[in-house]
Structure formats: C-alpha cells, structure tokens
Structure 1
Amino acid sequence: MPITPATATPSSSNGTAEAILLELVDENGVTIGTAEKLSAHQPPGRLHRAFSVFLFDERGRLLIQQRALGKYHSPGVWSNTCCGHPYPGEAPFAAAARRTFEELGVSPSLLAEAGTVRYNHPDPASGLVEQEYNHLFVGLVQAELRPDPEEVAGTAFVSPAELTERHAQDTFSAWFMTVLDAARPAVRELTGTSAGW
C-alpha cells in the first residue's frame, strides 16, 4: 500500500506520525490556510476541502463501502464509494482518483466532476464534526476490487431499492445522504433513467 499523508504512518525521524494537513476554505471554496486533520474535525469544526466519489457498475448499481473498524472517524459505517481530503494544493480530482485506488485497489474507468456541496454534520458516535466544502465525482468501475482492509471493511453494489433497504437497517455516515442527493443529477446523467437514481 502506498504511504501517503492519508494513511498516516510513522515516518518522522523520531518515529511519530506526521501531521496530516487539510486545506481550510471559505464559503466559496477558496483556500484560506491549513489545519491538522483531527483538529479540523473537533467541534464546532473548521470548513475544509473534501471529496466524495460515487462509482457505478455496468448495471447502474452504486458501489458503497463499509469503513474499516480501525478508522478514527465513523468506523464501521457504510458510506459512498470513497471519500476523503485532498492534500493542501492537490486538485480534488487527483485526490479522488488517488484515494479510490488506495482504498479499493481499483482505478475508475471513468471519473467526472459532479459539482460541490457544503455541509456541517456532527457525528454523534465520535463527537467529531464534518464541516466540509465537498467536491463530488461520479464514474464507472469495471475492474475487480481489491480493498485495503485498513481502510475498508466491506463493499457492496446496490440498486436504489437495495440502498433504501440498507439505509433503513444499517448505519451510514452522517454525510452520506447529503452528498448522494447533491450528486444525483450527475448520477442520473451517468446511469440513465432506467437505473432509478
């Protein structure tokens, strides 16, 4: 697995993990600085840049993932295909493609921008706050998944009806429905009306 700030492995000369920095933004998505990842998520949260990816198979089913139990934030919950934070100065598109490969071991066969959404979602389980300016991406996946168990506990391809059932039974990330609803116009354009999104 590639070692990146997103995977936070000990790499400094004294053996401690290097700080993971996020890009702080204003309400228009303009970069105004950086903050350490965990501190940016402490209440009340600091507005920072993020991305969310929604990948679909040839049948128009959405790939969702269950976050690994070892994650510090929202462990074990289901969420969209991939989500995360660009490095400071990294283009959101590049970050989305990079993290999709790092987490799921696959590169999208198609990835397209699908707009942005701004939200503030407290996570009741962890007490952390997602205050994000989120860049949305939709695409297709055709290759076999090879999830990194440090990042992903499970995956599933779901139709809209199956997602509705799962959402009623399982715990999903606090931000999931917000980002999915914001991405729906691009999802419908990608999958066609027959997929039901």
Structure 2
Amino acid sequence: MPTTPATAAQISPEIPSNGVQPSGDPAPIMLELVDEDGRTIGTAEKLAAHQAPGQLHRAFSVFLFDEAGRLLLQRRALGKYHSPGVWSNTCCGHPYPGEAPFAAAARRTFEELGVSPTLLAEAGTVRYNHPDPASGLVEQEYNHLFVGMVQAAPRPDPEEIEETAFVTAGELAERHAAAPFSAWFMTVLDAARPAVRELTGPAGGW
C-alpha cells in the first residue's frame, strides 16, 4: 500500500502531452475497458463509454482530508458535459490506458486542485452502475478508491471546479440533504469509509 507523498504523474506515452494529434485535431480521450473482475479488455473513447447503457471502464475516486479531519469537496464546473454544478468528492476521473490508478489519482488531483496529496493510500475498489438523469449518460465503472491528506491550500482549475469546501461528517450530511451531489458520491464514500476511519480516527465521525 503506497504511503509516500504523491506527485503528478507523467502522461501515458499513448496520449500526446499537449492533447493535440499531429493533424492538429484534439486527441480523443481514451478509457480502459475492464471486465467484472477489473481485468483490462480494451479501450473506448470517453464519451462513447458513458453513453447509455455504458461500457464498464476503469476509474478512480480520491478523498483528501485536512489535519482537522475535514473532507475536501469540490463542486464541478458548470461547463462540464457530465454532472455539471454538483458537489462530489475531492477528485475523480479515469486512468489513461496503461496508467496505474494510483498515478492517475495523484496526477489528476494536481491538475484539478493544484495540490499533491500526502499519505495517499489505496482504499479498495467498488463497481457501480449510475445513470445521470440530467445528461442521460451512464457511469458503468470499476472504481479504485484512495484516501489521503492535503496540507496545502487548493488552487482549483476553474475549467474543472466551480468551488471547494472542507466539511466535517456532520456538515457533509447537512450539505448532502440541501444541495445536489454526483450520482456516484455516496457509493464511493460508503465503500471508502473503512479506510477513511483508519486515516481520521474515531473522533472524525466518518
């Protein structure tokens, strides 16, 4: 289980670093398709993998906490095509084909929030099927979970994140009852709770 500070990983060599193909067109974002046991079986373009009924693909979800045991939430940018403007966990996304989920989690956390997590550790996996009624897209995901600490102030990318908030377990319950959250949020949080409790201690209330 990795416990050392994580840094942004290098982009997989299959993906041009500037996101542009030699032709000048944007490079398609490819996801890794998996079977029910998480074994790689192929690839698919990102939007195609999310169109109903969805194709099972590899994903990751990150939960970072400050020294007071508060969870860092993000509200997704309004311009995102999938689940815009809703609250969700610290960071979530998809590894590039061939990229280790741990490396992808560290990379994407830095890209979205401008921080590198410390003590980032694996927290298991969860498989789910969550349609998004607003967009008609479907999350068919085999999700790798990670928990860790954040020790620097977030510097969110406005194209990805509308706002952030640190919340206690009680504050999260109030916010979840009053504001829209991503369809997958409670599924990934519940699956990660044992690792979250190990990280934050019993006094955290998670």
TM range (shorter): over 0.9
1:150 to 159, 168, 172: 159
Please, what TM-score do these two structures have when normalized by structure 2? 0.91
Deviations 1:126-167 (A, max 9, x none): 100000000000000011111111111100000011001110
Q: Is the contact between residue 9 and residue 17 of structure 1 (CA under 8 Å) also seen in structure 2?
A: no
RMSD: 1.8
CA distance in 2 between counterparts of 1:65 and 1:4 reads 23
2:128 to 103, 108, 119: 119
Question: Is 2:110 the counterpart of 1:91?
Answer: no
CA distance in 2 between counterparts of 1:59 and 1:11 reads 42
2:201 to 173, 192, 195: 192
CA distance in 1 between counterparts of 2:78 and 2:11 reads 20
Mind listing any 5+ residue stretches in structure 1 that lack a counterpart?
Answer: none
Moved over 3 A (4+): 3-6
3-state secondary structure, aligned to 2:162: strand
CA distance in 1 between counterparts of 2:54 and 2:133 reads 14
Mind listing any 5+ residue stretches in structure 2 that lack a counterpart?
Answer: 1-9
2:7 match: none
CA distance in 2 between counterparts of 1:124 and 1:70 reads 17
Q: Matches of residues 45-124 of structure 1 in structure 2 within 5 Å? A: 45-124=54-133
Q: State the 1:174 CA deviation.
A: 0.3
CA distance in 1 between counterparts of 2:162 and 2:76 reads 6
CA distance in 1 between counterparts of 2:148 and 2:126 reads 18
Q: Matches of residues 8-47 of structure 1 in structure 2 within 5 Å? A: 11-47=20-56
Q: State the 1:10 CA deviation.
A: 5.9
Q: Which amino acid is the alignment partner of residue 50 of structure 2?
A: H
Q: State the 1:39 CA deviation.
A: 0.2
Q: Which amino acid is the alignment partner of residue 93 of structure 2?
A: G
Q: State the 1:18 CA deviation.
A: 1.2
Percent identical residues: 79
Q: Which amino acid is the alignment partner of residue 144 of structure 1?
A: A
Residues 127 and 4 of structure 1: is their aligned pair in 2 closer, same or farther, counting only changes over 3 Å? farther
Q: State the 1:9 CA deviation.
A: 7.0
CA distance in 2 between counterparts of 1:86 and 1:194 reads 33
3-state secondary structure, aligned to 2:122: strand
CA distance in 1 between counterparts of 2:24 and 2:132 reads 31
3-state secondary structure, aligned to 2:124: strand
3-state secondary structure, aligned to 2:193: helix
Q: State the 1:30 CA deviation.
A: 0.2
Q: Matches of residues 158-173 of structure 1 in structure 2 within 5 Å? A: 158-173=167-182
Q: Which amino acid is the alignment partner of residue 108 of structure 1?
A: P
Aligned residue-pair number:
195
Q: Which amino acid is the alignment partner of residue 186 of structure 1?
A: A
